[in-house]
Structure 1
Amino acid sequence: MEETIAPAMGSANHVNIVAADSEKLNNSITIDSKISFRPFVNYLKEKLQGGSDTRTRIYSYLIERFEEVPALLEPVTDAHVLEEHQDLLDMLGTTLFPVVSEQEKNMFTMSVPYEFSVFNYSTPFRKLFIDETEEHFLLPDGTTAESLKMAQCALIYEHILEKFYNIKLNEDPHLVYPVEDKKTGMKRYYKLRYDRRFIDIMPKGSLPQIQDCGVCLNSLRILDLDRQLEKMPLDLFEAEGFGVWIAEDFTIQESLDAIKKVLLHQEACDTSIINDLKKNIQALVGYNEVEVGLTPFVKLNNRFVLDETCAKHGLVSKNWKSGDAESVATYNMCVGFFSEHPEPMPLSILDEKVVEVAPFTKVLLDQGFRSYIIYPIQNNDGLLGLLELASPVSNQLDQEVMNRVEKAMPLLSLALLKNRDTFGNRIEKIIKEKFTPLQPAVEWKFAEVAWEYMHKQHTEEAAVITGNVVFDNVYPLYGAIDIRNSSVERSRSIQKDLKTHIQLVDDTLDKLQTSLHLPLLEGLKFKNFTFSQAIDNGLPAEDEVRINEFFEKEVDPVLEHLRSSHPQTQELIDNYFNLKNDYEGYLYRHRNAYETSLATINNTVLQNFEKQEEIMQQSYPHYFEKYKTDGVEYTIYIGQSIAPNNPFNMLFLKNIRLWQLSTMADIARITHALIPTLPVPLQTTQLILIHSQPLSISFRKDERRFDVEGSYNIRYEIMKKRLDKVNIRDTNERLTQPGKIAMVYSNPKEAQEYQEYILFLQSKNMLKPGMEMLELEELQGVSGLKAIRVDINLDNQ
């Protein structure tokens, strides 16, 4: 029987017990531990039941052989006993690791139970984990005594808790070794896991209550190891048998875990981490001479662009320059090639024939590479980037290597996706710093300029790039929803509050004079009365300033002094200052009522515009700029240059003009319906400026907004600024009136187009019948303006 079993251990001349270097261990962790083969024999006897005939014969033979050596069934205290029966131990190793296993992968050793002391190790194990003199069991470099203590305790307590408390811990104690492969020079990783099936552990006394220990019964983990050691000390137990350390090549998983850590530790994924990713990919491949390239492909406005910071991490692309036409052409050729051929290609032999099919590989052939793997990385949105492996050795890079890197593809796809997001964030940051937050309709143009700035930012050109954002031949539409007599209403509310404040000052001074006889108080009271009379006669702006200065610089200092010098006045003066400083209180109620009404109207108008604008953008992309004054003003620009990929037709301009007119009618009805709910019943007026000629607009960096270009186009801006208070010619009547829409024009053809829109909206009962054709007074720098004015059906729902 013995002759049919081939040794798997790689016999040694002698068997000795090799311990780890004590300097690396925490010597406070000790357990009564002895080598014995009785637990193994008992294990085999249990397996005899229900086993196959062949396995039963093998198990019976082993049991018989071990029982012939009683010294091995008792605790072994002398290593010579092991050496005397080395043949039996070799047979034991073959049983545990059958001959069908690859010899070089049989990396295992037997060990003293729960100690870092080993014996009877296989030859592959010895080469990696035992020193050359076979005096020490090597522990992983950089491992601390504390981490070894935690691993050792986890192994022991896992056994104890499962056997005596029926608790299975959520622990996976193992050791990870980084080892340099002498053949390839690459670092490989091995994981040592511990098999305790042949160890029997027994208590020496009564067991403690698990509730008193450091084990969390919810997470099934040892949360407090020191408490666990105190309440359940290891000298309470004894272990007998032998453990088995089994080494597994962990390089692939360790490389994948390292890539995960790189991605998890970086919120953003810029090109600075690509070198870390490349190192881990090289470890995954396992060849020191193999070079790795990882090139993210980034997009701008849905087209691929050559970013030098990304390209420099590739193999074929590392010398490409974004300003070089040949580099850009090669880049576009590669993107097209990989988009058409997205499947990975292992080229075991890189030669001229390959160059004919893929010309971009010539640079690699010239550099001496002879095998090459191209792995395009993509997702549902298309190409994300390219992984490259190149070796100077023919046939080194083959399908087996590609299978290894295949495991990393999901992680690399995630890295490239994050890199693409980071690139987008860089573009957006430049836009916000150099321009302003923008609407999607024009953001593409700023992205182009930001991209130009980004890859030229270290040159002299970058200083002038950001001023060149222009849209030519766009049609403007201007509208204003103004608050009727807003300045009058604001002045009236301030006047009422100041009158209340003057009355409070007067009452406070009267009460002070009942207990204090100071001529200064009479002087303040007289001046206060003078201001009261002035307010009754109106409130010019200069009087408002003078009254506030009177409160701040004359009344307040006197009251502050009296409060500190005459304690009997403190309550009265405190009350005055409390009322004065309560900006939500009755001294400010009229101003607050006006501001609340104004804000309610403006917010309602803006919300309506945003809702309507979202719908209109779907018709044709355009720029919509709105801003609050004492109402809401807006400018719309539409034209081919804003949406170069969407063919422009004048029908889109007519559509948005009709939308503008109907929206003005809707807003007038909405704001009219608000009046009963407003603290101050403010009314709105509606104004449209018609301008049929296209113009050019450019972004003004200083004001962070668009403005028109050219002397002729400046006239349009002048009209916008001076129309709000224009009168009808030869009258004092303001053009803009509540319940009406005024449309200002200078070209009779413009009026004809809008008359058609008016008739259409009158047919829908949105506007009342009839229209006024008006001539306007001359404005400074502008003459010949006319207007159409129509009544809105405010009751139409």
Structure 2
Amino acid sequence: MKNAKNYPGCPFRTELDLSGLIRYWKQNLNQKESTLQYASKEILQQIEKAVELHKPIQDPSVLEKHSDLIRILMSAIFPTALSDSVLMGAHVPFNFSGFYATPGYTEILPFDKPREDIRLYSDTADTSKGTIMMAYLFILNKYFGTNIDYQLPIILGLPDKKTGLERIYNLEFDTRFIEVIALEKPEMPDSKTIAMLLENLYDVELWRRYIRPENFVFRGFALHKLVDVTDQEMLSSIKYYLLKRDAVTCGVNFLTIQEKIQALFALPDLKLGIVFFDPNNNIISSGGISDWNSFMIHDHQENLSCSYFSNSIYDKAFTEKKPVIIENLAKYDRKTKIEKALLEQDIKNIIIAPLTNNGEVIGMLELVTPNPGDLNFINAGKLSNVLPMFSAAITRVLGDLHNEVRAAIQKECTAIHPSVEWKFLQAGYEMVGQNQKEGKTTLPEIVFDNVYPLFGMSDIRNSSVLRNQAIREDLLENLSMAKHIIERILEYRNMPILDELIFRINTEMSQIEPGLASGSESGVISFLKEEVNPAIQLFRNHNEEIKNLTDNYFNELDPDLGVIYHKRRDFETSLTKVNENISKFIENAEVQAQEIVPHYFEKYKTDGVEYNLYLGQSLLQNGTFDTLYLRNFRLWQLITMCDIARSIDELQSELSHPLEIAQLILVHSEPLAIRFRQDEKRFDVDGAYNIRYEIIKKRIDKAHIKDSGERLTQPGKISIVYSRESDATEYLRYLEYLKAQGFLCGEVEQFEIEELQGAKGLHALRITINQDRKTSDSSDNSLIDDLISQLEEA
């Protein structure tokens, strides 16, 4: 025991005194029903003889001299049966000079060598200041009439000597054997001063001015008890860190959480990992969140499909939504590639705990060690309190990450077809992850390999001719009306310039009468707007007749274009109606077709509607693609085109300008690749060989039958262009079947197509659509299923 008077930092005089404990023994030994009746009179005699123990002890040798008796006296406080488990020591009052303790206590806080690796978790700057303030409060209660709980919380953190991990202890004080003696009558501070002192609880110098330490002496001894609160403190600290927004996105924070979980389990070799799931988009990832990783996908830079962990212990945790504990992975008898990969990382012991949000698994918490049995069914219960906090942290991160990914995709790609959104999200997660690790990056290439294309076109027949005809008729009407007004003006104002203007009007009319040549439209419009109309406007108010003619003329002009727009408006309105009808019909049919098998679809409106459809295994998030789907969609395409033709036929009565459509299908049986082009924000076929397919698409609508001069596409008919005889055989079956069902009529025509630039050897089938058949319900697939069954049998 150190000399109490010289204890550093203590402003009070403190004296070790066992007289209180001796009185306790005497009182109990002299009672008939005392719990200490087992003690003999010899103990009383020993107590009486040890006169040095009845007064304050200044000399440490006194304790050694009476060590056996002190051991007996202290047994009333230190239960012998619990000496190995209770962490308790006896000290000089409000002083850390100890003189008696259990073995466990001195192992943690040895008396002979104060530890310098103590971490203080209390509000005080150090433990000595906390004990000093407890002494002041002790005085306040005894001499100034207060009733304050002076047991200030002192939480200590100390590295465990065996594991090196921090253990947390609450240092509790028992002061029942302490008394304080005032050496002179203390001055009484008023209530206002006491309140001020309590507001500045740890300001030792302030307290010293009002309560002078030299006027008091503490006698007796204090009991210090260490209560292990590691689990509670670590759980609380883990929760605190998990509430931070970057709890699992900051590597430093995550490693701090790992250290605290190591301390919670008392396992220095324990490591922590997290993997998150986005089941809606079939994504497993840990990259893009932090610089830590998941042990399941530690060697994968890219995001993975959820099928990656099928039949593994992760799959079990995901399915059962409860932790899976493997005490010895080496002895696990149902190893998949996942378990084998874990063993390669020297992981023998693992807990996989699913993290959920609204009943859906959004991630997995991984606790791993190289030592079998470290993690088991008993200590796994410690996780139950923190799993909801990990789930909340991952939910928060996934929400932020999802918004960031969508913003990045929106910037790079604009609108995305729902069927391929999952692929863009995967690429987006990868891009965001690379941004965090390496700085700004671009969206990875999006390519779908081995997909089968379907191309279709519902083209408005002779749309260019009809548009030019409507423009010509409008211009002729405009020139004719202008000529009539100028002729009437000439009757009142004989001006040679007006004769010249009529001459030029006649010239323009004669030039466009046979048809519009290149540049004719813009030339006539400029002539009308810049010369004719200003001349008419000049004489507008000449007289009442001219004014009426002029007003009627300008009322006929389109207010935006400044020329007559009657026939052209009728044509454009009808064209828009037809386009919208075709487009809406295809969209509705395509939505239902997505339910058969997901596929990529895009359409374009021109003078009519053309569309691309791609399907194949690489486009599927889940499931398996079969060529049966391809045949199904080819038949679906034919039926849809028949229905489009009939719907447009029914629309004719609503059109101010009659229009007809011709329909075309391009068959391409070889799978190809499509790549997303970020510059044009669309998919294009990939590879030099596949470019031929794009060339053919752009040219076949104007193709002619070889050696005939006849246009291949014709109103009321479907033309099917192909290059392989096997394609013709397949489609002939479809056509015969649809004839039997009333969709088609007449004979199937077969042609060779004239040579196109960049495309040779093309052939075509052509057949008439039965306009009398009622439009089918596109949601009814019984016709398709029936034919597919026949094809399968064949």
TM class by smaller structure: 0.5 to 0.7
Change (3 A) 1:564 1:132: farther
Q: Which residue of 1 aligns with 2:593?
A: 616
Pairwise CA RMSD of aligned residues? 6.0
Query: Following the alignment from structure 2 to structure 1, what is the Cα–Cα distance between the partners of residues 351 and 448?
Result: 45
> How far apart are residue 468 of structure 1 and its match?
5.6
The AA in structure 2 aligned to 1:424 is H
Matched, 1:382 2:361: yes
Q: Which residue of 1 aligns with 2:94?
A: none
Q: CA contact under 8 A between 2:478 and 2:563: conserved in structure 1?
A: no
Change (3 A) 1:616 1:564: same
Q: Which residue of 1 aligns with 2:705?
A: 728
Q: CA contact under 8 A between 2:723 and 2:763: conserved in structure 1?
A: yes
Determine which of 637, 642, 656 is the counterpart of 1:660. Answer: 637
Q: Which residue of 2 aligns with 1:592?
A: 569
Alignment of 1:121-520 (within 5 A): 123=149, 133-135=194-196, 297-299=276-278, 302-312=281-291, 323=301, 339=318, 343=322, 376-379=354-357, 380-384=359-363, 386=365, 409=388, 413=391, 416-435=394-413, 437-457=415-435, 466-467=444-445, 469-472=447-450, 474-506=451-483, 509=486, 520=497
> How far apart are residue 694 of structure 1 and its match?
2.8
Q: Which residue of 1 aligns with 2:772?
A: 795
- Residue 195 of structure 2: SS of its match in structure 1? coil
Q: Which residue of 2 aligns with 1:169?
A: none
Q: Which residue of 1 aligns with 2:679?
A: 702
- Residue 702 of structure 2: SS of its match in structure 1? coil
Query: Following the alignment from structure 1 to structure 2, what is the Cα–Cα distance between the partners of residues 556 and 523?
Result: 15
Matched, 1:775 2:752: yes
Post-superposition CA distance 1:519-567 (Å, at most 9, x none): 555544443343233333322232102112223444466678999999x
Query: Following the alignment from structure 1 to structure 2, what is the Cα–Cα distance between the partners of residues 734 and 553?
Result: 41
Change (3 A) 1:501 1:125: farther
Query: Following the alignment from structure 2 to structure 1, what is the Cα–Cα distance between the partners of residues 353 and 621?
Result: 35
Q: CA contact under 8 A between 2:250 and 2:290: conserved in structure 1?
A: no
Query: Following the alignment from structure 1 to structure 2, what is the Cα–Cα distance between the partners of residues 120 and 556?
Result: 105
Tell me which structure has the larger Cα radius of gyration: 2
Post-superposition CA distance 1:352-373 (Å, at most 9, x none): 9999999999x9x9xxxxxx99
Q: Which residue of 1 aligns with 2:19?
A: none
Q: Which residue of 2 aligns with 1:628?
A: 605
In terms of mean alpha carbon deviation, does 352-361 or 724-733 score higher?
A: 352-361
Matched, 1:758 2:735: yes
Q: Which residue of 2 aligns with 1:682?
A: 659
> How far apart are residue 311 of structure 1 and its match?
3.8
Q: CA contact under 8 A between 2:249 and 2:289: conserved in structure 1?
A: no
Query: Following the alignment from structure 1 to structure 2, what is the Cα–Cα distance between the partners of residues 404 and 300?
Result: 25
Query: Following the alignment from structure 1 to structure 2, what is the Cα–Cα distance between the partners of residues 399 and 122?
Result: 41
Query: Following the alignment from structure 1 to structure 2, what is the Cα–Cα distance between the partners of residues 477 and 184?
Result: 71
Q: CA contact under 8 A between 1:446 and 1:469: conserved in structure 2?
A: no
Change (3 A) 1:385 1:746: closer
Query: Following the alignment from structure 1 to structure 2, what is the Cα–Cα distance between the partners of residues 597 and 270?
Result: 61
Q: CA contact under 8 A between 2:485 and 2:546: conserved in structure 1?
A: no
Query: Following the alignment from structure 1 to structure 2, what is the Cα–Cα distance between the partners of residues 714 and 374?
Result: 49
- Residue 612 of structure 2: SS of its match in structure 1? strand
Change (3 A) 1:752 1:339: closer
TM-score, structure 1 as length reference:
0.54
The AA in structure 2 aligned to 1:656 is F
Alignment of 1:102-117 (within 5 A): none
> How far apart are residue 705 of structure 1 and its match?
3.0
Query: Following the alignment from structure 1 to structure 2, what is the Cα–Cα distance between the partners of residues 670 and 276?
Result: 64
Matched, 1:649 2:643: no
> How far apart are residue 312 of structure 1 and its match?
4.7
In terms of mean alpha carbon deviation, does 770-779 or 435-444 score higher?
A: 435-444
Query: Following the alignment from structure 2 to structure 1, what is the Cα–Cα distance between the partners of residues 603 and 733?
Result: 27
Change (3 A) 1:584 1:763: farther
Q: CA contact under 8 A between 1:605 and 1:632: conserved in structure 2?
A: yes
- Residue 564 of structure 2: SS of its match in structure 1? helix
Q: CA contact under 8 A between 1:480 and 1:634: conserved in structure 2?
A: yes
Q: CA contact under 8 A between 2:431 and 2:442: conserved in structure 1?
A: no
Query: Following the alignment from structure 2 to structure 1, what is the Cα–Cα distance between the partners of residues 323 and 623?
Result: 36
> How far apart are residue 791 of structure 1 and its match?
1.2
- Residue 633 of structure 2: SS of its match in structure 1? helix
The AA in structure 2 aligned to 1:551 is L
Unaligned runs of 5+ in 2: 1-144, 154-190, 201-226, 230-234, 333-338, 368-373, 775-794
Identity score, percent: 33
> How far apart are residue 749 of structure 1 and its match?
2.4
Change (3 A) 1:466 1:294: closer
Q: CA contact under 8 A between 2:645 and 2:716: conserved in structure 1?
A: yes
Count of residues in correspondence between the two structures: 544
Query: Following the alignment from structure 2 to structure 1, what is the Cα–Cα distance between the partners of residues 199 and 442?
Result: 64
Query: Following the alignment from structure 2 to structure 1, what is the Cα–Cα distance between the partners of residues 525 and 276?
Result: 63
Query: Following the alignment from structure 2 to structure 1, what is the Cα–Cα distance between the partners of residues 381 and 727?
Result: 74
Query: Following the alignment from structure 1 to structure 2, what is the Cα–Cα distance between the partners of residues 490 and 777?
Result: 27
Q: CA contact under 8 A between 1:471 and 1:641: conserved in structure 2?
A: yes
> How far apart are residue 645 of structure 1 and its match?
4.3
Query: Following the alignment from structure 2 to structure 1, what is the Cα–Cα distance between the partners of residues 539 and 491?
Result: 14
Q: CA contact under 8 A between 1:688 and 1:741: conserved in structure 2?
A: yes
Q: Which residue of 2 aligns with 1:691?
A: 668
TM-score, structure 2 as length reference:
0.54
Change (3 A) 1:663 1:506: same
- Residue 774 of structure 1: SS of its match in structure 2? strand
Change (3 A) 1:279 1:562: farther
> How far apart are residue 756 of structure 1 and its match?
0.9
Post-superposition CA distance 1:577-628 (Å, at most 9, x none): 6764524999323222212211211111122212222222222332222211
Query: Following the alignment from structure 1 to structure 2, what is the Cα–Cα distance between the partners of residues 420 and 292?
Result: 22
- Residue 437 of structure 1: SS of its match in structure 2? coil
> How far apart are residue 699 of structure 1 and its match?
3.0
> How far apart are residue 772 of structure 1 and its match?
1.6
- Residue 723 of structure 1: SS of its match in structure 2? helix
> How far apart are residue 751 of structure 1 and its match?
1.5
- Residue 494 of structure 1: SS of its match in structure 2? helix
Change (3 A) 1:519 1:765: same
The AA in structure 2 aligned to 1:535 is I
> How far apart are residue 512 of structure 1 and its match?
6.7
> How far apart are residue 309 of structure 1 and its match?
4.5
Change (3 A) 1:763 1:488: same
Post-superposition CA distance 1:390-442 (Å, at most 9, x none): xxxx9xx9999978768xx3x87456335324433433444443345333433
Query: Following the alignment from structure 1 to structure 2, what is the Cα–Cα distance between the partners of residues 771 and 505?
Result: 53
Q: CA contact under 8 A between 2:242 and 2:393: conserved in structure 1?
A: no
Query: Following the alignment from structure 2 to structure 1, what is the Cα–Cα distance between the partners of residues 320 and 242?
Result: 27
- Residue 471 of structure 1: SS of its match in structure 2? strand
In terms of mean alpha carbon deviation, does 335-344 or 430-439 score higher?
A: 335-344
Query: Following the alignment from structure 1 to structure 2, what is the Cα–Cα distance between the partners of residues 447 and 467?
Result: 12
- Residue 733 of structure 1: SS of its match in structure 2? coil
